[in-house]
Chain A
Amino acid sequence: MPELNFNIKRPINYSWLVKMAWRDSRKNRSRLLLFMSSIILGIAALVAVYSFKANLQRDIDEQAKTLTGADLIIQSRRPLSPAVTALLDTLGLHRAKEKNFVSMVYFPKGEGSRLVEVKALTGDYPFYGSIETKPVAAAKTFKKGRRALVDHTLMLQYQAKPGDSIKIGNLSFAIEGSLESVPGQTGITSMVTPVVYIPLEYLEQTGLMQLGSRIQSRYFYQYKDVSGVNSDLKRHQQLLDKEQLSYETVATKKESTSRAFKNLNQFLALSGFIALLLGCIGVGTSIQVYIKEKLGAIATLRCLGLNAKEAFLIYLIQVGVIGLLGAIAGAFLGTVLQFLLPVVLKDFIPVELSMGVSWAAIGQGLATGLVISVLFAMPSLISVRSISPLNAIRASFEEAKPRRDFLKWLVYLLIIAFVYGFTYLQMNNGMQALAFLVGIVLSFLLLIGQAKLLMVILRKMIPQRMAYVWRQGFANLYRPNNQTMLLSVAIGLSTLFIVTLYLVQGVLLNKVAVSGSETKSNMVLFDIQPAQKEPLVKLLKAEHLPVLGQVPIVTMRILEINGKTAAQYEDTTAKEPGNRTPRAFSGEIRATYQADLRPTELLTEGKWTGTTTENGTVFISLEKAYADRIKVKIGDSIVFDVQGLPLKTKVGSFRSVNWNTVQPNFRVAFPTGVLEQAPQFYVFMTNVPAAERSADLQSKVLRQFPNVSIVNLDMIVKTIENLLDKINFVIRFMAGFSMATGWIVLLSSVMSSKGQRLKESVLLRTMGASRKQIMTITGLEYLFLGFIATAAGIILALLGSWALAEFALQSNYAPELLPLLVFLFAIPLLVMLTGLYSSRSVLNQPPLQILRKES
C-alpha cells in the first residue's frame, strides 16, 4: 500500500467540535428544549426529596435530645418490684416520672367528653426542649395545683379557655393553658389521641387507677453525659430484661425516628425516580428522532471528511450540555420545591424542620441528570458513528447488512445496570430492585412485541374497500418511517408508570380505610367492669339505644408453650437458632371468649370450637400472623396465666382478622365455658343515631361510670379520613411529577415524530386533500396508536400493581374500573390532540412554505 503523506489520524480538535455542536443546534433549540424539559421535573422531584431527606436527617440529629426530652427513658406497663423501684430512684442526675393512660375527659362548660391520653407528670421533664403552652408559663405552673394542660385542638373543639375546668375520672382540674407541642409528638398523633397533662400527685384521686386500666409508667433521667447512660444500662441490663422494662435513649430514638422516615423517604424517592424514568423515555425518543433528522447533515459532513468519532462527539456535546442545563433547571426547581414538602408533610414529622439548600442533593441531581441524558441518548448517539456518507448522494440509503454494534449492547447493559443500581439505592433491597428491573424490561419488550404485532395485523387486515382516509390513517402505522414502535413504547411505558402509581395509591389507601359498618355500631364503650355491666345496659335501654354487642375481655399472659417456660426456652434459644424467643412470653394478652366467630374474623386453618369439649380440653383460636410470630402450630399446647391461675389450652384453629375495622379484635379467642368466672371487663357497642345524642350519652355515661371510655367511631372515621386526605395529598403531589413528565414525554414524542408525516401531508394537500381529510388521517393515526399503546400500558399496570399489592403490600386488590376507563380514553385523546396540534402548520399554511422550510 502506498504511503500516506499526511497524518491520517488527525488529532481531535475539541474547540471546533464544541463550535460545530453549537452551530448544529441552531435551528433545533426548541426541540432540544423539549428534550431538556422531560428531565427537569424528574430531577426536580429527586433533588427536592434528597434535600428534604438531608435536612430531615440533620434536624433529627440536631434535635434528637428534644425528641426524647431526656437522656434515658425507662418504661413499664406492669407494677414494679421493690428492687426495681429502688433502682429507678437512684439513676441519673435528675429524674422525672410520668404515668399515662387513655381515658375519657369531660368538659362541664361545653358538656362535651372525649377520649384522651392523660399524662400525669412529676419532676422537671422535659430536660431538653420544652412542653410548649399558651400561656408559656403554664408548662411549669400547672404542676403547682390541681391544674391541667389541655391539647389545643381539644380546647378549640370544646371552646374551652384557661381557667375553665375539665373533669378526669372523679376529679376536676382547672385548665392552666393549652398544649401546643410536646417533645417527640407529631401533629397526627395528637389528632388521634389528644394529650392532657395533670400533676402526678392527683392521679390516685381520679380513681382511674384500677383493674383493666392500661397504665404505662415512664421514668425520665438526665445524665451528665452519654457515657453515664451507657454504663448504667450495661450494669442493669439483666434486671431491666427480667422485669420486662423497655428503655429509650437519645441514640435509639434517633435511630427509630430515622427508620420511621426511611419508608417515607423511599416512597418519595421512588415516585421521583419514576418521574425521572419517564423523563429517560423522553430523552431516548426525542434524541432518536433528532438524530434521524440530522442524517443528511451528518452524511454531508462525513463526505467533507468528518470522521465517525467527531460526528459522535458533536452530538454527545449537544446532549451533554442540554442534559446539564436540564439538570440545573431541575435542581433549581427541586430546591424551591423542597420548601413545599415540609408544608405537605408537617403533620407527620416530630422535629422542627429547618429547610436549607442541600448542596449534596443538588450535586446528586446534577450528576443524575447528566448521566441519564447521556446514557439514554447513547443508543441513538452511537448510531451516528455508522451513518454512511452515501446518504448524501442517495435519497434513502440503507446498508444491506447493518453492522452488529457491540457498543450498543454495552450501552443497553449500562442502562439496565443504571436502573438496577438506582432502584437498589432507593430500596436497599436487591430482590425488590431486581423485580422492578425485570418488570420494566419485560414491559419494554412486551410493548415492542405489541407494536410489531399491530403492524403485521394492520398490514394484513385493512380491507381495501375501507374509506381512503381511514385506510391511509391506519396504513401510516406500518408504512416506512412509521413511529409506531417509538410511540407505542413511549406512551405504553408512561401509561404503565402513571396508572401503576394511581392503582398502588388506591391499594395503599384501601389498606387503611376504615369500616365500622359491619355491625352498624358507631359508638364503642370500653373498660366496663363486671359490676357496671347491668347498670350500663339499663342506661342504654332507658336512652332507647340498642346494645349491639357485649364483648368480654380477659387479660392474661403465656406461661408455657408445649410444656416449656420462658426461662427454659431462653436456655435453648442460643443452641437452636430460629427457635421461639422469650418474646412470645412477654406482654399482656387481651383475650375474649365467644361461641361464634366475629364478622371481622375468618377461619383459615383447623376447626373452630365454640364451647369447651366434653373431656375438658380447651381449644383456642389464634390469629394466624400472631401464631407465626410466636411459632405455634395447630395442636400445640399453651398454658396461660389468667391473673394468677394457670389455664391449659390447645391450639385448635387459626383465624385471619381484619384489623382495619375499629371494632374490638383479638389475637386469642377462647370458647365459651372457661373464662366466664375470670376477672374481666367488657366492651359494648351501640348505635347513636344523631350527633347531639352522642354527646349527651357520653356525658351521662361519664358522670355515672367515670372509668368507662367511649370511642365515637364517626369521629375516628372522620379523623382517619382527614389523615388519609393528607397522605393522599402527599401521594398525589409526587404522582403529579410523573403525570406532568408523562405529558411532556408524550408531547416531545409526538412533536418529534411529526416531521415524518409532514411531507406526506403537504403532498396530499398539494394534490387537493381537504383540511378535514388531512385531520382525519392524522387524527386516526394518533388516536388508534394512542389507544392500543394505552390499553397495553393499562394491562401491564394492572399486572404490576396486582403483583405489588399481592406480594409487597399484602393487601386486597380490587382496582376501580372507572378511573381506568378515564385513563383509557383520556390518554389516546391527548395523544390525538397533541398530534393534531403538531400538524397544524400543514393545515394552516400554504404547502410550498412548509416544503421550503422543511427542506
Chain B
Amino acid sequence: MLYASLQNSILAFQNHYFKQDSNYITLEHILNIRNVSKIYENAGHKLTVLDQINFSIQTGTTVAITGPSGSGKTTLLGLCAGLDRSSSGTVSLNGIDLDHLTEDERAAVRNRYVGFIFQNFQLLPTLTALENVMVPLELRGERNIKKHALDLLDKVGLADRSGHYPVQLSGGEQQRVSLARAFSNQPAILFADEPTGNLDAETSDKVIKLLFDLNKEAGTTLVIVTHDLDLAAKTNRMIKLKGGVVVADLELNHA
C-alpha cells in the first residue's frame, strides 16, 4: 500500500512536470495496475475473475500476459485498456486514473493513447481496408490522413488492396489491416488479444514479425494476451495468470 501511494505520488509529480507535447511517452510506467479485482455477481453468487492484481508496465517495453483458458487474461486486458471498470483497485494508463472516468471519457483516452488488435480482427465490415485504417484518426478529427493510412497499408503489404472490403480479404490480410489500423493513431500502448489465434502457423509468423517490426519502429508499448508461449517468449516480460491471480512475473532476456 505504501509503495502504491508512493508510486501514485511520483506519477502525479511526473505528470505535472513532464507535460506531454506528443503521444510519445515520457513517463517511466505507462500502465499501473494496483490491487485490481474483478468480481461478477450473478443471482446472488459472486465470481472472482481477477483477485488483487498488481503490476506496472514500463514505457516502450513488450509484455505478454499468458495463462490457461479462464485464467482471466481477457478480463485483465479489458481493464488495462479501459474497456471495463474494475470492482476494486486502480488502473492508471499513461498517468490517467481510469477508474474515475466515465465510459465516454475512457473512450477518449482509448482514442488518444490505445491501439487494439483482436483475435477475430474486428474490422468494420462495411468499411474498406483504407477506411478501416483511417477511422481512429478520423475520430480525432484529424484531416489529410489518407496518405498516412496508405503508407501504413503499404507497410503491411496491402497498399493494392486498400479499396477492398474485409469480406474480400483472407484472414491474414484482415489481421494485417488490423495492424495498420492499430498503429494509425500512433498509440502510446498497443493491446493485442490472441493476435494469431485465428491464423495458421505460416501466416501467424508473418503477422507477428510485422507486429514486432512496426512496434519497434514506433516505440510503442505492446501488451499481448496469448496462451502461445512461443509468441510470449518474443516479449521482454511474461506475466502468468492462473485462477485470477498472478502466479509468475518473468523478465525475459533476449540478449
Binding site for B on A (CB under 8 A): 1-6, 8-11, 13, 16, 19-20, 23-28, 296-297, 299-310, 388-390, 392-394, 400-401, 852-853, 855
Contact = CB atoms under 8 A, between A and B. Distances in A.
A393 B74 contact: yes
Contacts of A19: 138
B176 interface: no
A852 B169 CA distance: 10
Contact of A400 (B41, B101, B118, B125): B41
B105 A8 contact: yes
A301 B20 CA distance: 26
A393 B191 CA distance: 11
Contacts of A28: 126
A1 B109 CA distance: 14
Given A3-B15, A400-B41, A305 B136 contact: yes
B107 A306 contact: yes
B208 interface: no
B33 interface: no
B248 interface: no
Interface stretch (B92-100, B146-154, B235-243): B92-100
A8 B108 contact: yes
Contacts of B124: 23-24, 297, 300-301
Interface in B216-234: none
A300 B121 CA distance: 10
B40 A400 contact: yes
Given A388-B84, A393-B77, A400-B40, A307 B107 contact: yes
B108 A307 contact: yes
Given A10-B141, A304-B116, A304-B136, A388 B109 contact: no
B112 interface: yes
Interface in B103-127: 103-105, 107-112, 114, 116, 118-119, 122-127
5 shortest interchain CB distances as A-B pairs: A305-B111, A307-B104, A26-B126, A300-B122, A389-B83
A19 to B, nearest CB: 8
Given A16-B138, A304-B139, A305-B108, A27 B74 contact: no
A848 B164 CA distance: 20
A443 to B, nearest CB: 33
26 contacts: A1-B100, A2-B97, A5-B19, A10-B108, A10-B140, A13-B141, A16-B138, A24-B126, A26-B127, A27-B125, A300-B118, A300-B124, A303-B83, A303-B122, A305-B112, A306-B107, A308-B103, A388-B84, A389-B83, A389-B107, A392-B116, A392-B122, A393-B77, A393-B119, A400-B42, A401-B41
B16 interface: yes
A2 B95 contact: yes
Nearest to A26: B126
B193 interface: yes
Contacts of A392: 83, 116, 118, 122
B245 interface: no
> How large, as a class, is the contact surface on chain B?
35 or more
Nearest to B184: A304
Given A6-B108, A10-B141, A308-B103, 7 more contacts: A3-B16, A5-B19, A8-B108, A300-B124, A303-B83, A305-B140, A393-B78
A297 B166 CA distance: 12
A296 B121 CA distance: 11
B167 interface: yes
B110 A304 contact: yes
B151 to A, nearest CB: 19
B159 interface: no
Contacts of B173: none
Contacts of B214: none
Contact of A304 (B20, B125, B135): B135
Given A1-B100, A3-B16, A307-B108, A393 B11 contact: no
Nearest to B141: A13
A532 B123 CA distance: 98
Interface in B39-79: 40-42, 74, 77-78
B12 interface: yes
A181 B136 CA distance: 74
Contact of B127 (A3, A23, A400): A23
Contacts of B16: 3
A8 B83 contact: no
A23 B12 contact: no
A16 B141 contact: yes
A387 to B, nearest CB: 10
Nearest to B74: A393
Given A2-B11, A304-B110, A390 B125 contact: no
A401 B97 CA distance: 24
B195 to A, nearest CB: 12
A304 B113 CA distance: 10
A16 to B, nearest CB: 5
Nearest to B108: A8
Contacts of A10: 108, 140-141
Contacts of B15: 2-3
Interface string B77-94: 110010110000000100
A390 B84 contact: yes
A11 B119 CA distance: 32
Nearest to A389: B83
Contact of A305 (B92, B107, B122): B107
